[in-house]
Amino acid sequence: MKSLSMPHPRDDCSTPCSLADTDILSSAESTSSDSSLRSQPWPLKFQIPEFSYEVQFQLEQGNQAFLNNGTLLHPSTKLKSDILQSLASEMAKYKIYPSSAEFDNVAEALITKYPCLKEKGSVTGYYGWKISLKYKMANYRTRLRNIGCQELTINSVKEKRSGMGPGPNQVKKPRKAEVNFCPDYPPGETKESLEEERKALLLEVKKKNNDQLIKRKMEKTFAYRRQEIIKGMPFIAEVKNRWPALFSETEVVAEFTRITMVPLLSTFMAKLDRYADHLLRVFKKKGGTAKRIIST
């Protein structure tokens, strides 16, 4: 029996989305328009970005030489650094901490588009590029941390010493499908201004027929809420006290979408439809108490 695996963010829905789903999707679209948020998960096929004119010119010349006589390009230190820098910047649009497999994806995509960059003697043809890219990505994270990127400052030595960050040997980073793990505040907003929005939300949840206003305020305070939860690791009771709107069905679904960019309800129902017949066949084969419970 196939397991009910976690749906991939790119899976298409085989059933129409409900009105609630449409509302959540529009919420995700408006949230993703915030420049501090990522709008999509890691792509199934990584697209190599356009490099600078100088880099592009050298790579095209190298590709032509490779097509003509199989000559491999031996990039200069500067050329290699420029290529790696562009790739690291593109990867950061999706993930700050790519997995080993994702580094493989990028390195393989690079030599597929520019076969002149293949490495002689390497089984994969890109192992050296993968290792260099890991080092470049680590350096890029340092640069982002130095300019205040919240997804990285939570792991800084200063945060750990203050007691707000993780332990000395722990790194807080996305573990599963989080696309927006610890985003920065929206442009023009501060901790103080977003705290005022949170207080206003406490009053709004007590009113009737104002779901749209609550949704907008929850979207606006998303980064503030994520940083509070990730840095402070509060108990559920404390979160419920500070963010009561988060515990409504609508906002549970909306928050899931903000974090993963996956429309929860429509994706779940599509997967349920896909496996329903198989599950029913399995259930019918059950015997004893389980069969009686299922039958009733």
DSSP state letters, the chain: ----PPPPTTPPPSSPPPHHHHHHHHHHHHHHTSTTS--S---SSPPPPP--HHHHHHHHHHHHHHHHH-PPP---HHHHHHHHHHHHHHHTTT-SS--HHHHHHHHHHHHHH-GGGPPTT-SSS-HHHHHHHHHHHHHHHHHHHHTT-HHHHTTSHHHHHHTSS--TT------SS-SSSSPPPPTT--HHHHHHHHHHHHHHTTSSS-HHHHHHHHHHTHHHHHHHHHHH---HHHHHHH-GGGGSHHHHHHHHHHHH---HHHHHHHHHHHHHHHHHHHHHT--HHHHHHHH-
Which residues have CB under 8 Å from 226's CB, separation 6+? Answer: 180, 181, 182, 183, 259
pLDDT at 239: 96
Whether 77 has a pLDDT exceeding 90, the answer reads: yes
- Quickly state the pLDDT bin for 16 (edges 50, 70, 90): very low
According to DSSP, residue 32 is labeled H
pLDDT at 6: 38
Whether 168 has a pLDDT exceeding 80, the answer reads: no
Which of the residue ranges 85-94, 170-179, 263-272, 283-292 has the most confident prediction, judged by mean pLDDT? 85-94
Q: Decide: helix, strand or coil at residue 180.
A: coil
> How large is the average pLDDT for residues 111-139?
95
- Quickly state the pLDDT bin for 36 (edges 50, 70, 90): low
> How large is the average pLDDT for residues 230-252?
95
- Quickly state the pLDDT bin for 39 (edges 50, 70, 90): confident
Mean pLDDT (the chain, rounded): 85
> How large is the average pLDDT for residues 249-275?
92
Whether 187 has a pLDDT exceeding 70, the answer reads: yes
pLDDT at 283: 78
The upper half-sphere exposure of residue 45, i.e. CA atoms within 13 Å in the direction of its Cβ, equals: 2
Whether 235 has a pLDDT exceeding 90, the answer reads: yes
pLDDT at 157: 59
Query: What are the tokens at 76?
Result: 């200069």
pLDDT at 29: 45
> How large is the average pLDDT for residues 154-175?
65
Positive or negative, the Cα torsion across 166, 169, 171, 177? negative
According to DSSP, residue 13 is labeled P
- Mean pLDDT lowest for which of 57-66, 151-160, 181-190, 228-237? 151-160
* pTM reported for the whole predicted model: 0.71
Share of the chain above pLDDT 70, in %: 82
The residue type of 125 is G
Whether 73 has a pLDDT exceeding 50, the answer reads: yes
pLDDT at 5: 37
